[in-house]
Amino acid sequence: MRYLDGQEVRLGDRVDENGRAGVIVCSVDTDEYCVDYPREHWSYLGAGLLILFDEMGLVHYGEPDEDLRLVARAAR
């Protein structure tokens, strides 16, 4: 999955969606999962991302969201 500007979404990215801050905790598309959100529990989704938002909690996006923007890349 990619952001609207064409950059690839990566595990650990800090994101913003309409003023709501979050972090990418799983990318089913690239088979990447944080320790707290393991493949065994989330790969059944088949595609998309899991974002842990500060205010809303965990949200699954099956398709790109035009309002989702990258704030900062995770330190690697």
Query: Is 9 inside any structural domain?
Result: yes
Instruction: Report the percentage of the chain scoring pLDDT > 90.
Output: 87
Query: Is 28 inside any structural domain?
Result: no
Query: Is 54 inside any structural domain?
Result: yes
Residue pair 19/69 in contact (Cβ under 8 Å)? The answer is no
Whole-structure pTM value: 0.92
pLDDT bracket for residue 74 (50, 70, 90): confident
In total, how many domains does the chain have? Answer: 1
Query: Is 24 inside any structural domain?
Result: no
Q: Residue 76: pLDDT above 90?
A: no
DSSP notation for 17-56: ETTEEEEEEEETTTTEE-TTS-HHHHGGG-SSEEEEETTT
pLDDT in tens, 43-70: 999 999 999 999 999 999 998 889 999 9
Question: Beta strand 49-53 with 20-27: parallel, antiparallel or unpaired?
Answer: antiparallel
Query: Is 30 inside any structural domain?
Result: no
Domain that holds residue 50: 1-17+38-65
- pLDDT, residue 75, reads 77
- CA angle, corner 9, sides to 70 and 66, nearest 5? 60
Q: Residue 22: pLDDT above 70?
A: yes
